[in-house]
């Protein structure tokens, strides 16, 4: 008889389910073969280790012997970690949405033995409630339909397959203009909550790519409307309960419409993307709040998310921290007024006034520390609160901690590298850039297979699963950020190598665009092309930016041609459609108006460094910085080919298209030319 097969897996999420009475399979040919052999439908359950509602469904249903017996008798049961296999998750999330349901986790899908979806949902309670049927009812109904109404099942399969084919087909071909881009930005800003920021309603997600797009609209138009939407959102995120005011770092999202009560899991990707966004916005606002939150977020990454030792082997970052501890959501993070008084004594009232601590609490009888009623930054107040936060942090460190998902994911670490580099440049923290270099080198060294191709996941000492396009896109973008910050052209070469692999194994030469999964990835019933940004930027949008940056930095026309084709594959004139891929829109604007700043000089010379710093801290995010050493020659196709130092002095050239400015040797003059705010 089949038994639970998850005990030999490396995924922390799958291992959470290894002792379930359910006879789980991991995704793979063994599960599909068993379903075909026994002529049973597949029950596919997708989640992740830090997911609160995944834990709830596990405790209520997957640990229940009676429900497990029903699952084992009627289905082949398959568990998937959506972070480990985003390609599989993407296929079946798309199928669920085509059935008219909202996606999310846990994802519960029912498949034929060939892996074709025919029905599904997300969380199901064990008995009917929340307006949802009980899971036991669902199991019996699906099993009965599969056994007695095969035509209905096949009808669903065919309808979903056709709808998926149509949904996954690119919708591009429409013309675009800057006027259209402005119209899209105007539509986007109307979605922002004018009182608390974020998009209107609950829940509220950080959506860094959406707000990066609005910030770019502000830089393009100088309109305060766009800037205010971004800063209002960031201010509330930074001061709300979604931010951990003791330990640093942002939770995944807020369950309410005012950023107070988060789902308490902390994800690497959210914090990486917010770190980059805060850095960009700080360049113009000089907000001490953003500088502080950026520094605290980096401290959190280094304190709680390092996966590896501080030795010659280096480290990368783990994926996530759980929402739950001791079986309760948020227990590690919340406080009672009595606990605060016990720790802070006479200082408790002052702290409570700033951080919203009351006897009755602000969430389920407890207090989520937040500053939504004390938003304004005050240096004296910050100095007074810092030692009090440290005391509470010391007490909190004695609690039972949430679990950590130790998977190292190539794409998420690429985002972290880019965020660290950008923050290191903006806030003049060279140590952060060095940390980013170490993480980048770790991923490149430890997550490349013998075939020279990246893998997606590393956990428990094992390299796992084929890379998805996001791995190549995010790591290539990180490489180009490092190339700008360090002047090391080896990073450009790494990005070019990964772009070549992406073209070979992921690009669709017929329909255009990059598939999420490589062509030789086994066991997939479809190969979606990720274009819509969700909690993370879509792979095609990031690849478009990578190609544009490579075109500017190398001068090679093939990168520009590929970028034009890629963007044209997905771009339309429909504002509502384009709103969902802000990363692609930013790449398109960079394609049209990207600026190349070339710094020629000895990279160790103080004068060269001064010019480079001005270039790197330009608020114009359409600019790309390339360093040219005295003995280095730019390719003939490059805009600045043949340009170098002037009378032995380092020089900067600002190039738009094929035309470059006269050389600039004075940092102040370069700052004026770039519109830097001093």
Mean pLDDT value across residues 399-405: 96
pLDDT-wise least confident of 159-168, 187-196, 432-441: 159-168
Reported as a pLDDT band with limits 50, 70 and 90, residue 637 is confident
Q: Tens digits of per-residue pLDDT, 445-483? A: 999 999 999 999 999 999 989 999 999 999 999 999 999
Mean pLDDT value across residues 482-503: 97
pLDDT at 309 over 90: no
CA dist 303 and 18 (Å) reads: 29
Q: Tens digits of per-residue pLDDT, 62-116? A: 999 999 999 999 999 999 999 999 999 999 999 999 888 888 999 999 999 999 9
- Do 244 and 232 contact (CB within 8 A), yes or no? no
What pLDDT was estimated at residue 175?
61
* pLDDT, averaged across the chain: 94
Mean pLDDT value across residues 416-444: 98
What pLDDT was estimated at residue 632?
87
pLDDT at 404 over 60: yes
CA dist 44 and 42 (Å) reads: 6
Q: Tens digits of per-residue pLDDT, 189-219? A: 999 999 999 999 999 999 999 999 999 999 9
Reported as a pLDDT band with limits 50, 70 and 90, residue 678 is very low
What pLDDT was estimated at residue 1?
46
What pLDDT was estimated at residue 620?
86
CA dist 249 and 346 (Å) reads: 28
CB within 8 Å of 405: residues ≥ 6 apart: 12, 13, 48, 49, 50, 83, 318, 319, 320, 321, 322
CB within 8 Å of 186: residues ≥ 6 apart: none
Burial 63-80, CB ≥16 within 10 A → b, else e: ebeebbebbbebbbbbbb
**pTM of the predicted protein model:** 0.95
Mean pLDDT value across residues 19-37: 96
Mean pLDDT value across residues 545-556: 96
Mean pLDDT value across residues 255-267: 96
Q: The tokens of 102 are what?
A: 């909202």
Q: Tens digits of per-residue pLDDT, 320-334? A: 999 999 989 999 999
Residue 450 φ then ψ, to 5° = -65, -20
Burial 20-48, CB ≥16 within 10 A → b, else e: bbbbbbbbeeebbebbeeeebbbbbbbbb
pLDDT-wise least confident of 159-173, 585-599, 630-644: 159-173
């Amino acid at each position: 008889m089949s038994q639970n097969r998850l005990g030999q897996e490396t995924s922390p999420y799958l291992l959470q389910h290894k002792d379930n009475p359910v006879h789980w399979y991991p995704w793979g040919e063994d599960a599909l073969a068993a379903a075909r052999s026994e002529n049973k439908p597949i029950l596919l359950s997708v989640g992740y280790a830090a997911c609160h509602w995944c834990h709830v469904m596990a405790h209520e249903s997957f640990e229940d012997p009676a429900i497990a017996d029903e699952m084992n008798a009627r289905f082949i049961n398959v568990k998937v970690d959506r972070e480990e296999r985003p390609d599989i998750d993407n296929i079946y999330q798309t199928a669920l949405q085509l059935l008219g349901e909202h996606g999310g986790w846990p994802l519960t899908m029912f498949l034929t033995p060939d892996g074709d979806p025919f029905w599904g949902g997300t969380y199901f309670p064990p008995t009917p409630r929340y307006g949802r049927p009980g899971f036991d009812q669902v199991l019996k109904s699906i099993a009965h339909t599969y056994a007695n109404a095969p035509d209905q099942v096949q009808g669903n399969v065919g309808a979903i397959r056709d709808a998926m084919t149509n949904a996954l087909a690119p919708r591009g071909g429409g013309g675009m203009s800057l006027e259209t881009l402005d119209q899209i930005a105007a539509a986007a800003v109307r979605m922002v909550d004018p009182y608390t920021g974020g998009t209107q309603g609950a829940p509220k997600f950080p959506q860094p790519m959406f707000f990066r797009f609005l910030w770019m609209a502000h830089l393009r138009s100088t309109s305060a409307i766009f800037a205010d939407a971004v800063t209002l959102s960031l201010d509330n995120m930074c001061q709300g309960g979604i931010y951990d005011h003791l330990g640093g770092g942002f939770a995944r999202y807020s369950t309410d419409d005012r950023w107070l009560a988060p789902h308490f899991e902390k994800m690497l990707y959210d914090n990486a993307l917010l770190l980059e966004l805060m850095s960009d916005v700080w360049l113009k606002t000089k907000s001490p709040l953003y500088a502080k939150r950026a520094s605290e977020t980096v401290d959190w990454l280094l304190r709680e998310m390092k996966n590896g030792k501080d030795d010659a082997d280096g480290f990368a970052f783990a994926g996530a921290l759980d929402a739950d501890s001791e079986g309760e959501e948020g227990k590690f993070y919340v406080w009672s007024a009595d606990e605060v008084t016990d720790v802070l004594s006479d200082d408790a009232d002052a702290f409570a006034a700033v951080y919203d601590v009351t006897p009755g609490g602000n969430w389920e009888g407890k207090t989520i520390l937040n500053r939504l009623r004390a938003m304004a930054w005050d240096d004296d107040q910050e100095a007074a609160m810092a030692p009090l936060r440290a005391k509470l942090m010391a007490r909190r460190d004695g609690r039972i901690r949430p679990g950590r998902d130790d998977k190292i994911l190539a794409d998420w670490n690429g985002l972290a590298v880019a965020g660290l580099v950008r923050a290191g440049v903006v806030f003049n923290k060279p140590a952060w850039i060095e940390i980013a270099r170490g993480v980048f080198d770790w991923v490149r060294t430890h997550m490349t297979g013998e075939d020279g191709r990246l893998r997606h996941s590393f956990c428990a000492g094992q390299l796992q699963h084929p890379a998805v396009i996001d791995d190549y896109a995010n790591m290539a973008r990180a490489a180009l950020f490092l190339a700008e910050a360090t002047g090391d052209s080896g990073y450009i070469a790494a990005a070019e190598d990964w772009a070549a692999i992406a073209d070979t194994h992921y690009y669709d030469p017929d329909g255009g665009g990059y598939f999420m999964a490589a062509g030789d990835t086994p066991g997939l019933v479809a190969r979606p092309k990720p274009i819509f940004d969700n909690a993370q930027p879509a792979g095609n949008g990031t690849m478009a930016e990578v190609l544009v940056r490579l075109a500017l930095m190398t001068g090679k026309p093939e990168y520009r041609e590929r970028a034009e084709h890629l963007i044209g594959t997905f771009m339309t004139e429909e504002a509502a459609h384009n709103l969902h891929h802000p990363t692609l829109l930013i790449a398109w604007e960079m394609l049209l108006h990207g600026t190349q700043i070339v710094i020629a000089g000895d990279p160790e010379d103080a004068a060269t460094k001064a010019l480079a710093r001005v270039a790197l801290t330009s608020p114009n995010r359409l600019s790309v910085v390339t360093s040219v050493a005295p003995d280095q020659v730019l390719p003939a196709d490059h805009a600045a080919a043949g340009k170098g130092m002037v009378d032995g002095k380092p020089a900067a050239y600002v190039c738009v298209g094929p035309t470059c400015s006269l050389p600039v040797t004075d940092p102040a003059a370069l700052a004026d030319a770039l519109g830097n705010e001093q």
